[in-house]
Structure 1
Amino acid sequence: MNIVEHAKSRHTTKAFAPESKIPAGTFAQFCTLLRHSPSSVNSQPWHFVVASTDASKARIAQATETGYAYNAAKIRNASHVIVFCARTSFDANHLADLLAQEERDGRFATPEAQAGQNSARSFYVDLHRYDAKDLQHWMEKQVYLALGSALLGASGLGIDACPMEGFDACRLDEELGLRARGLTSVVILSLGYRSEEDFNARLPKSRLPEDKVFTML
């Protein structure tokens, strides 16, 4: 199956088979894919909290109890659940970590190239911090780039997935101690294999036609 067929065939799974677990090797591939997601100026302002035991998934499911109970089973019955988090600040330490990793990975032919990368990334961070004043929103946009990679990648690995914004982020941040770590939850992704009760698997996929979504200049 090619990538277009995956895009056309994948769907948001509404019910998972709790007995069906993602093999460790397959999940390791998924994590590698997720870690290599794109981000603006390679900013990587994210962190991923992974739950695979009943107890850890139950901790995440608590955030659905008030107002979002319909999502609880999608968390508890999944094989793995990932909380996609954004940083709450983009500080000098994170900038330094990024630059040091790029140097270790051999991205700089000269010291000038390294300085140029640092200057360019700092420019965009400061642009969103001081001028646009939307740094948190900008960082969360990068998290959603990672989510897009995760959804298509999961399909490529034969994994079913369900992204969810329906949860109490404040409660989840508190439960997982995220804010003390400079993080905040943005979206939850449940992964596993669909059950016979997944009604969405039986429905035809629906998207607006090409002439509604493309303008060819």
Structure 2
Amino acid sequence: MDKVLDKLNWRYATKKFDSSKKVSKKNLEILLDAANLTASSYGLQPYEIYVIEDADKKVKLRAASYDQSQITDASYVIVLANKPTFDATMIDDYIDNIMKIRGISKENLEGFSQTMKSSLLGLPDAHKNTWTSNQAYIVLGNLMTIAAEMEIDTCPMEGFDKAKYNEILGLTDKGLNAAVVLAVGYRSAEDDTQNYPKVRYSKEQIITHI
């Protein structure tokens, strides 16, 4: 079987982490580089990534996560925080970054800038929030795949109080909202879930070729 498929079959949503095993800083940086290289619509990256290692913060986040042990036992808790709304500044900042990195004049980027503004700025705030949250989920998927390639365990988590996360991490004041959480570490030998057969529909049931 292809190596990638081997790793995807190996991974599972880890329920119990071994708190005595720590993901190295080097491997964490590889994961974060992968997160930063993840594709996003227009390349705008309308989110920020928070990496929580501080034990006291993790205890508070666990309380806001319905007491799920992954939060405190995993090496790191990665919070993907989307921008629930935005204005032209987000696009202008992105254009400035393109100019800096690629050495392109602002005039040559004007058409691209206007395309983004006409497509995005008129959206209602609810739609902006959905769109930016969806972009954060692309990062989540990429992180999980790269972690599996490195045989690092993860657990994607939506079971948490977003308002409390925003308060604990000071996200609201920064114009951000906790979209989804990823616990990162190494599975505990006591986690029986790792031994469960993977349950998926057959490809014939969910894939249509046209």
Q: TM-score, normalized by length of structure 2?
A: 0.92
Residue in structure 2 matched with residue 115 of structure 1 by the alignment? 110
Residue in structure 2 matched with residue 192 of structure 1 by the alignment? 185
Contact map agreement 1:30 1:157 (CA 8 A) in 2: no
> Which residue of the other structure, out of 142, 146, 152, is the alignment partner of 2:145?
152
C-alpha spacing 1:216/1:115, structure 2 compared with 1 (3 Å): same
Is 1:44 the counterpart of 2:45? The answer is: yes
Output aligned runs, 1:78-89, within 5 Å.
78-89=74-85
Point out where structure 2 has 5 or more consecutive residues left out of the alignment: none
Identity, in percent, stands at: 28
> Which residue of the other structure, out of 183, 196, 199, is the alignment partner of 1:203?
196
Q: Equivalent residue of 1:12, what SS?
A: coil
Output aligned runs, 1:56-205, within 5 Å.
56-64=57-65, 68-69=66-67, 71=68, 73-106=69-102, 108=104, 111-129=106-124, 134-205=127-198
C-alpha spacing 1:195/1:188, structure 2 compared with 1 (3 Å): same
Residue in structure 1 matched with residue 55 of structure 2 by the alignment? 54
Contact map agreement 1:62 1:172 (CA 8 A) in 2: no
Once the two structures are TM-superposed, the CA of residue 15 in structure 1 deviates from its matched residue by 0.4
- Partner Cα distance (1:163, 1:57) in 2: 16
- Partner Cα distance (1:156, 1:51) in 2: 22
Contact map agreement 2:7 2:151 (CA 8 A) in 1: no
Work out the number of aligned pairs and report it.
209
- Partner Cα distance (1:2, 1:117) in 2: 39
C-alpha spacing 1:104/1:159, structure 2 compared with 1 (3 Å): same
Point out where structure 1 has 5 or more consecutive residues left out of the alignment: none
- Partner Cα distance (2:115, 2:52) in 1: 36
Q: TM-score, normalized by length of structure 1?
A: 0.89
Q: For 1:142-162, what per-residue CA distance to the aligned partner results, in whole angstroms no more than 9, with x for missing partners?
A: 111111111111111221000
C-alpha spacing 1:2/1:121, structure 2 compared with 1 (3 Å): farther
Contact map agreement 2:88 2:117 (CA 8 A) in 1: no
What letter corresponds to residue 187 of structure 2 in structure 1? Answer: R
Contact map agreement 1:43 1:121 (CA 8 A) in 2: no
What letter corresponds to residue 205 of structure 1 in structure 2? Answer: K
What letter corresponds to residue 177 of structure 1 in structure 2? Answer: G
Q: For 1:151-194, what per-residue CA distance to the aligned partner results, in whole angstroms no more than 9, with x for missing partners?
A: 11111122100011111111111111111110011111100000
